[in-house]
Structure 1
């Protein structure tokens, strides 16, 4: 058999909850063969990150070239790119290798509001990578930076999505995971044509590590399968919701979402 191929360009999470590890599990669930270009290695567990080591930008580019030149890819996603050099080589390689169906998870700010990369890296992300995106998936705090505005209401999310769209991405999904009250879990989609409000069930669990990585990977997997961007995003949200129902209570902190629920519950249906 020749399955669809997806590429993740992201960091390694030693705890297995997010990053490359979550992306590859997500691809596998969707029966998409996962390939990878690792950007950095983290020493990480459910309590947090204790060390980050970046790979040389040339190594990231070489991994991408090795995959595409032999295997080919139908879709790709970016996650933690960490610094300006890696962002620049990733954007250059995506263009040179003509990688289609790119999902950009602009990992700049955590869901708690902590900035993860410096201003120079954010500038390069904005000008070099975002214009290549088929779907861009900023969280609330990332959207505030990209749209240069505060976001507190649904109307703010809608306006931010429209402003961010002007940076060049074909579609923008402003995620509501960091919003308060009844906006938690409500996402706003804008592709230049119409605003869509995407809602799924809110799952009450503290074990939510890896949700952002999983969402963007699931969008990429569904694009690789052949779904259009909005359908891919809707299906990805259902997948993330289901993994939250089977989240893993491991470690002493925030556990990850559960990707292998079909193995535990063979008859479980998404949603």
Structure 2
């Protein structure tokens, strides 16, 4: 009798009661791509499609307990990290994950709100670069987050490449800099690696307001493809393609009064079983 396992992705992220972003979007994405999702909650934002009303913190000790309890039982094939609300939670995550080397970690740095407000203090950003960057396989900032990290403006593809190179110099082996905020009909993202290799990904912009949770979805999708055994470049390419289709299939659906969610289940896969 053969023994099987599911490809497992652990998401460490914040909550979204409206279901379109955060840990809910991650679980939807991981599940739709045929993987098994485990999860650790880092913060409890009170939000819907129109915005965030409040953020309630999860104590660092509780985050630590969640992480240790999940990891000691179900070892993930990849980890996605999203919202880290403060330095205490950041340090707990780093300290626990150091005991589990070899698991690819995808980090979506939730640093700047769509309103332009900074969601992470400077001290936490410094600790993130110092403690978390050396542990991860890929960081996926948008243009605003890249601007905060590098303290420079990022308004063009050439500036994206410069910013991505600077972020790898901070100790992160690979950076996927997302160009969704560039004012053009074509979306361009730059994957830059510490060995100076780079790859550009292009997709057509879709005319829709249903983009809530796009960044969460992309990082979770990349983690899912890696958990399935794909290499980083192919996982990034496949993740971008998945997000494009999820936006396309959900572009005309009305959910809520603000920016609606993606259609994560436009073509769901059955849960994959691998022989052990």
TM-score, length-scaled by structure 2: 0.91
How many equivalent residue pairs? 263
Which of 255, 259, 267 is the equivalent residue of 2:264?
A: 259
Deviation at 1:74, TM superposition (A): 0.7
Which of 187, 190, 201 is the equivalent residue of 1:188?
A: 190
Contact 1:9 1:77 in 2 (8 A): yes
> Separation in 1 of the partners of 2:204 and 2:181?
15
Quick one: higher RCO (CA 8 Å, sep 6+), 1 or 2? Answer: 2
> Separation in 1 of the partners of 2:27 and 2:38?
8
Contact 2:112 2:118 in 1 (8 A): yes
Mean Cα deviation higher: 242-251 or 208-217: 242-251
Which of 222, 225, 228 is the equivalent residue of 1:225?
A: 228
The 5-angstrom pairing of residues 1-271 of structure 1 reads 1-98=4-101, 100-182=103-185, 185-191=187-193, 192-247=195-250, 248-262=253-267
Q: Which deviations, in whole Å up to 9, do the C-alpha atoms of 1:111-161 show, x marking residues without a partner?
A: 453211211211111211122110110110111121221111111000111
Sort the Cα spacing of 1:4 and 1:27 in 2 relative to 1 into closer, same or farther, 3 A.
Answer: same
> Separation in 2 of the partners of 1:78 and 1:155?
28
> Separation in 1 of the partners of 2:143 and 2:114?
8
Deviation at 1:163, TM superposition (A): 0.6
Specify which structure has the higher proportion of helix: 1
Deviation at 1:262, TM superposition (A): 2.7
Alignment correspondent of 2:272: none
> Separation in 2 of the partners of 1:74 and 1:60?
20
Q: Which deviations, in whole Å up to 9, do the C-alpha atoms of 1:33-66 show, x marking residues without a partner?
A: 0000100112111111112111111111111111
> Separation in 2 of the partners of 1:79 and 1:201?
26
Q: Which runs of 4+ in 1 moved over 3 A?
A: none
Mean Cα deviation higher: 210-219 or 118-127: 118-127
> Separation in 2 of the partners of 1:261 and 1:237?
15
> Separation in 2 of the partners of 1:156 and 1:172?
14
Mean Cα deviation higher: 185-194 or 2-11: 185-194
Sort the Cα spacing of 1:11 and 1:109 in 2 relative to 1 into closer, same or farther, 3 A.
Answer: same
Q: Which runs of 5+ in 2 are unaligned?
A: 269-276
